């Protein structure tokens, strides 16, 4: 689960760096737009990377950004699946990764491992002792 988030984050950062470099060195129609797009994609890639780090350390806050990343990945995968050529396999991989990560993030075992309490449940006796 953390690995899938890290993989998605790394792919976004690499894609953003590529966009940024091509905006600086290539011949885009709008260099400013290409550079800003690259910086935006890099920033978006940092979110799943930080979430992956939090998941590895079993931090409860990391589940939210990880869930949001996977939910956002589904429409992106749909767009890739509706395109042509090499983007279709990329869409298949992305939808498989997103659905797998979503399943892992909502499993009761994951919720328990991250220390997330369900609404209306009392905290454990061990956690209230000083």
CA nearest 68: which of 8, 126, 121? 8
pTM of the model: 0.80
Q: Over 90: is that where the pLDDT of 104 sits?
A: yes
Listing DSSP states for 4-67 in one string gives: HHHHHHHHHHHHHHHHHHHHHHS--S-HHHHHHHHHHHHHHHHHHHHHHHHHHTT-GGGHHHHH
Q: Over 60: is that where the pLDDT of 35 sits?
A: yes
pLDDT tens profile 44-86: 999 999 999 999 999 999 999 999 999 999 999 999 999 988 8
Helices 2-25 and 87-106: angle between axes, nearest 10 degrees? 140
pLDDT number for residue 59: 94
Mean pLDDT confidence for 9-33: 90
């Amino acid at each position: 689960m953390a690995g899938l988030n890290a993989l998605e984050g790394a792919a976004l950062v690499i894609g953003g760096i590529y966009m940024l470099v091509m905006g600086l060195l290539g011949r885009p129609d709008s260099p400013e737009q290409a550079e800003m797009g690259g910086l935006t994609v890099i920033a978006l890639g940092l979110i799943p990377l930080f979430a992956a780090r939090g998941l590895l350390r079993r931090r409860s806050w990391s589940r939210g950004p990880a869930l949001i990343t996977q939910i956002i990945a589904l429409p992106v995968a749909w767009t890739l699946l509706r395109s042509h050529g090499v983007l279709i396999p990329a869409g298949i991989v992305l939808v498989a990764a997103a659905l797998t990560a979503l399943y892992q993030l909502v499993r009761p075992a994951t919720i328990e491992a991250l220390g997330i309490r369900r609404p209306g449940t009392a905290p454990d006796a061990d956690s209230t002792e000083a």
